[in-house]
Structure 1
Amino acid sequence: MTIAQLEGIRAWRDPVLRIALVLFALLACYAAFTGARWAESRESAVHQAVAEAAEITAKRRESFAATLAKGEQPNFGLIYATALPFRAGLPGAPLAAVSAGQAEGYPAAASIAPFLDPYTIFDAHMAGLESPSVLAAGRFDLAFVIVVLLPLLLIAATYDFWSRDVENGSARFQLAQPVTPGQLILARAVVRGGSLLVGAVLIAVAALLLTGARDAGDLARFAAVVLAYGAFWIALTSLINLVVRASTTAALASGTAWLAIVVLLPGAIAAAADLSAPPPSDMAYTNAIRTAGLEVRAANAAAARVAATGEPRNLYPASLWHSRGEIAQRDARLGPIHRAHAGQRDAHRGLAEGLRFLSPAVIAQDALDRIAGTDATRAIAFQDQARQFAGAARRLAFDWMDSGRLMTLADYDGGLPRFAFAEPSRAAPLAADLIALLLLTTLLLTLAALRLRGGAAKLL
């Protein structure tokens, strides 16, 4: 019988392993179904917001056709492109049930109109994003179970797999057999920690399959991240077992390591990012935008009253031409404010992205968020694309004004642009996260190997 087989029998007789797997299964299934309900609710809200524009356009088309059938001229809201309603929505990702991530802090839909400021198109969909529940640590989702709770289960199964034998003296008898310390300790770590980790991965994947996940590529990436993160913790407890000689000391050291890596270090990273590159104040930004907009409107109040009774130009009323000129003034006034806010935000995010490599827990959370499609990068990419679409809608309306072109039934029947989200690449960030986890694990294994080179005497 091989060492691995002996250790397998010994590990399976230990109730800790079985209890840990059952507990993880319960937590993972509950978290996966909770995440699936959240993802379904969010996607339903986005679909409803996007469908609103289609419903408005359909009603206007019906009214347009009915008016023409009567031989009458359609009114302002039906023939002027400046009144067109558009919507943009962020589609849900296949594994959105894995993690709520940072998605709850960003709007997932935009209400767009040609004369509307592209930086205000998300305002109607920001309700609740500033609430304390959103700004708290996060939901109980599968990512939370993996990042926070899985290390505790691995620690419970492996924290004393060698130090306990050193403490009770049985390690001397084991090393008296024809086996090297490295073989014995490696087999024990792989069997006890590896079997629990592989079982946890299979359980988590099964939970996602039960919630409807079917994308094989995303499931494989998910499994790879969990395996890499779990391997780090097994390597860490292995190193602790080689350094300490008492099981109570090993438990204390493992618990302290979990507290530092999962709780304290992420908080310290966030604090360091806030101090080094403070995030912009949303309240100050909103007040500056509102103040500047009101000043532009006040400066044009007299001209607006004159335009209200002015002569039409190119079939469009003078009031619309005045609004177009006011938009140009507003953009020139608000542009520097928007750019300053975006620059400060990007500087803060860039620093936080770099600092994440200091904590395996933050690395794992970042990777799971990207797999789930709930990371900040994807949310910000949606905002940028929605603003670009808003700019395209404005240019369309302006071009029609310049050429005196009015809406037709053909436009209502399919000639209007539609928003389509282009997924940002996530291959490079995911690869960086996996490589970072593997490098940290390799570092711990190297330290463990150096400890083993000291001989059996130092291990007893």
Structure 2
Amino acid sequence: MTGRSTVTRLEALRAWRDPVMRVMLILFAIAAGYAAVTGGHWAQARQEAVTTAVAEADTIMTDRRKAFIETLAKGEKPNFGLIYATALPFRAGLPSAPLAALSTGQAEGYPAAANIAPFVDPWTIFDAHATGLESPAVLAAGRFDLAFVIVVLLPLLLIATTYDFWSRDVENGSARFQLAQPVRPARLILMRAAVRGGGLLVAATIIAIGWLIAVGAGDVVGLALVVLVMLAYGAFWIALCILINLLVRASTTAALASGTAWLALVVLIPAAGSAIADLAAPPPSAMAYTNAVRTAGLEVRAANQAAARAAATAESDRAYPASLWHSRGEIQQRDARLGPIHRAYADGWARHRALENTLSLLSPAVIAQGALDRIAGTGSDRALAFQDQARAFAGDVRRIAFGWMDEERLMTLADYDRPLPRFAFVEPAWRGHLTRELLILLGFAALLLAMAALRLRRGAAQLL
């Protein structure tokens, strides 16, 4: 039996007998299970809410079809809500991704459905589903989900079991006997870190994946990506503990250094990045935006007030009354007036998010959180893609309704029997961003290992 295999077996036995390691792994399993179950309930409730919102259009059309038939049976003319295409209801919803139970991410900060009608401003179609989302308390609260367990608690688990895997032996003198084995110091250090930290990381990854499968997450590719993120993120913390163990000679100092690193990378740097983004590229004021939109809308309405009164009483031999033709023209004026206001507001938020994304690269914790959000489909990129696609669909709906007006076409019973055009969400490309985040995490780990290698090159005497 070689010296390397002996050291590996002894370290594995030593790690298994360590009660701290077993207790921490049990606590991680409990926390991960609770987070996965609550995440599964959240994802299911959100999907049910979106499904209900989208089905509302069909319900409205079913009720109108019934009223249409009843009106015709009475020999009466259906009212405008039953025969004018401008009254058609549409809905759009953001479906939950297969691994939505993994992370709530930023999903609760964005609406997941839209109410669309031909004459409704495409920028206001989310208002009915955005109540309370703008609240700072809602945006900051977050949830105890599996991503939180991975990003925040997994590093503590690895630190608790590896922070003094070498410094403690230096402190009690047993490191001299280990270095006397026929194994190079670098191999010995890496072997011990791999057995203790790597073994725990693999166990924690299996636990997290097991809980995701238990709550119904069956996307094999997504689960594999979660494994990659956890291993890359955990490798960074193991590499950090290796470097700390090589730089300090007391276990208390190692504990203090490891805890400080966790506090800085998981709490302080992300908070500082958010503060810097708020100062350097402050997000636009929602109140100022709302007031500007309201003022511009009122000005357009005031400018058309006399024409609106005239159209309301004007006789028309066309299929659609003069009032609707006037409303169509007013809507086009309103959109032209409000368009620059909407775009300026969106551009302001885009600049703020771009700076936040750049600053997030300073913290492996934020990078890992962003990667998990992408896999879960709860990041801001997916929510914003839904908003862009829903607005584009609203434009298509308007063109359909205006086309019917131009053709003097009214709704018939046959139209009620045809399904409405459906919104279909197209998933945005995100694998490239995830690849970049994985490479950055691995780059951080490689940098720490390179620093540890430089320390090891000074010889075994420097390790005691």
Q: TM-score range by the shorter chain?
A: over 0.9
3-state SS of paired residue (1:136): helix
1:263 matched to 2:282? The reply is: no
Deviations 1:373-396 (A, max 9, x none): 100000000011111111111111
Q: Distance in 2 between matches of 1:437 and 1:192?
A: 20
Aligned AA (2:86): T
The aligned counterpart of 1:83 is 87
- List structure 1 runs of 4+ shifted beyond 4 angstroms: none
The corresponding residue for 2:281 is: 277
C-alpha displacement at 1:341, in angstroms?
Answer: 0.8
Find the residue that maps to 1:308 and give its secondary structure.
helix
Residue by residue over 1:5-51, the C-alpha shift from the partner in whole angstroms, topping out at 9 and shown as x without a partner, is 12101111111111111010000000001111111111111111111
- 2:368 corresponds in structure 1 to 364
Quick one: which of 31, 35, 38 aligns to 1:34? 38
Matches within 5 A, 1:36-435: 36-312=40-316, 314-435=318-439
Are 1:19 and 2:58 an aligned pair? Answer: no
Q: With the length of structure 1 as denominator, give the TM-score of the two structures.
A: 0.98
SS at match of 1:315: coil
Q: Please say which of residues 6-15 and 249-258 is displaced more in the overlay.
A: 6-15
- Matched-pair identity in %: 72
Which residue identity lines up with residue 107 of structure 2 in the other structure?
Answer: A
For 2:419 and 2:175, how far apart are their aligned partners in 1? 78
Gaps of 5+ in 2: none
CA distance in 2, matches of 1:194, 1:380: 37
TM-align CA RMSD = 1.2
CA distance in 1, matches of 2:193, 2:276: 35
Between the aligned partners of 1:11 and 1:415, the Cα distance in structure 2 is 63
Gaps of 5+ in 1: none
Counterpart in 1 of 2:8?
4
State the 1:415 CA deviation: 4.9
Name which of structure 1's ranges 295-304 and 389-398 shifts more when overlaid on structure 2.
Answer: 295-304
The worse-fitting range, judged by mean Cα deviation, of 315-324 and 59-68 is 59-68
* 1:314 and 1:402 in contact (8 A); partners too: no
Secondary structure, counterpart of 2:411 in structure 1? coil
Q: What is the deviation of 1:403?
A: 1.1
Residues 302-332 of structure 1 deviation map (CA, whole Å, 9 limit, x = unaligned): 2111111112253001110110111011011
Q: For 2:197 and 2:44, locate their aligned partners in 1 and report how far apart those are by CA, in whole Å.
A: 35
Q: Aligned pairs, how many?
A: 460
The secondary structure found in structure 1 opposite 2:118 is coil
SS in 1 for 2:92: strand
Per the TM alignment, residue 103 of structure 1 is displaced from its structure 2 partner at its CA by 0.6
TM-score by length of 2: 0.97
